[in-house]
Amino acid sequence: MSRTYLVIAEHRDGKLRQVALEALQAALLSSSEGDSFTAAILGGEGTAALAEELAGYPVSQIHLLEADGLNAYNPEAYAAALLPLLDAVRPDAVFLGHTAIGRDLAPTLAARLQAGQLSDVVAIERTGDEVSFTRPLYAGKAFEKRSFASFPWVVTVRPNNLPAAAPAENGRRADIVRTDVAAPASLRTVVKEVVRKTSGKVDLSEAKIIVSGGRGVKSADGFKPLEELASLLNGAVGASRGACDAGYCDYGMQIGQTGKVVTPEVYIACGISGAIQHLAGMSGSRVIIAINKDPEAPIFKVADYGIVGDLFEVVPLLTQEFRKALA
């Protein structure tokens, strides 16, 4: 029996998010021969170009849901657009990124489908007809494997843990079904404007390289060397809660148990002592580099490489050497 898999493709600033392609890869890994794949993209004017881009990937159909009220994420507006699509497509499984939007939207979709839900999946294995999903527990100290007893499913995928789906072979392109979505009669909330306080061109949750600062940066100006290094490496700048609480940066940059959970290829911790709450948000990084004046700082226990020194001396030297290497 063939199954239908639906991927909700997120986008930001006119570009498909990397996690959208990772969610598609998750659907591909969970499927068997003969299954079909469809995707949904929600947005306002200009979203059609994203649908054209996604059409080059291994999906058979893309549902383009357009409305002025979908320019920015609004739970009520997104639900009003997606629920009729769920009723029409009746997917056996829905995959989303484990992002702020995915975490908020997935329970609504699961309730409508009367589906089981698994969140924050970091690995998928298929053995015969059995599909197991791995997700972290206790801030990454343990992992569990779960599988669904029956269809339908709703699954959210943690960014930067699964590879992105590759473009379709032989130049195949998906059909795009365009649907103009009528605004709901009444909305309890309306998004008038989105104000971004975080700096940097790279999304923190999807960044391959993160340069993060703690209380050791001493001030808002102390982040400037970190921003220069991150910009050079095409990375993002993060922060510990201590730095955020001290007013050195916005809470949107916070990494840790009460902030964002990140899994970059390289995590450079500058002036961060390594409190357990911060480690919960970054201990899954592939390579951790710690820079701290205190040789006894807990961050060195989890770091792959440690530099004992003043970050205001070390970071500019690193920037200088990276600039030479990249030249």
pLDDT per residue as tens digits for the range 246-272:
999 999 999 999 899 999 999 999 999
Q: What is the mean pLDDT of residues 265-284?
A: 95
∠ Cα 34 176 38 (to 5°): 30
Count of alpha carbons within 13 Å of 64, Cβ hemisphere only?
A: 18
CA distances from 207 to 50, 77, 101, 277, 288 (A): 21, 29, 17, 20, 14
What is the length of the chain? 327
Q: Does 273 belong to an annotated binding site?
A: yes
254 annotated ligand-binding residue:
yes
Q: What is the pTM assigned to this prediction?
A: 0.88
Question: Is 258 annotated to bind ligand?
Answer: yes
Residues 6 or more apart whose Cβ sits within 8 Å of residue 268: 209, 210, 211, 212, 229, 289, 291
Q: Does position 186 have pLDDT exceeding 90, yes or no?
A: no
The whole-number pLDDT of residue 10 equals 96
DSSP state of 204: G
The answer to whether 292 and 216 are in contact (CB under 8 A) is: yes
Is residue 215 marked as binding? yes
Segment 61-69 shows an average pLDDT of 91
Question: Residue 271, annotated ligand binder?
Answer: yes
- Residue 194: the pLDDT is 78
Residue 139 has pLDDT above 90, yes or no: no
Percent of the chain with pLDDT over 90: 81
Domain architecture of the chain: domains with CATH:
4-180 (3.40.50.620), 204-326 (3.40.50.1220)
Q: What confidence tens digit (pLDDT) does each residue in 69-126 have?
A: 888 999 999 999 999 999 999 999 999 999 999 999 999 999 999 999 999 999 999 9
pLDDT above 60: residue 198: no
Spell out the alpha helix ranges (H) of 31-65.
48-54
Tell me the C-alpha distance between 239 and 223, whole Å.
9
Tell whether 222 is in a known binding site.
no
Q: Return d(Cα 17, Cα 43) in angstroms, integer.
A: 13
Q: What are the residues whose beta carbons fall under 8 Å from the beta carbon of 235, sequence distance 6 or more?
A: 200, 202, 207, 208, 209, 210, 211, 229, 264, 266
Is 306 labelled as part of a ligand binding site? Answer: no
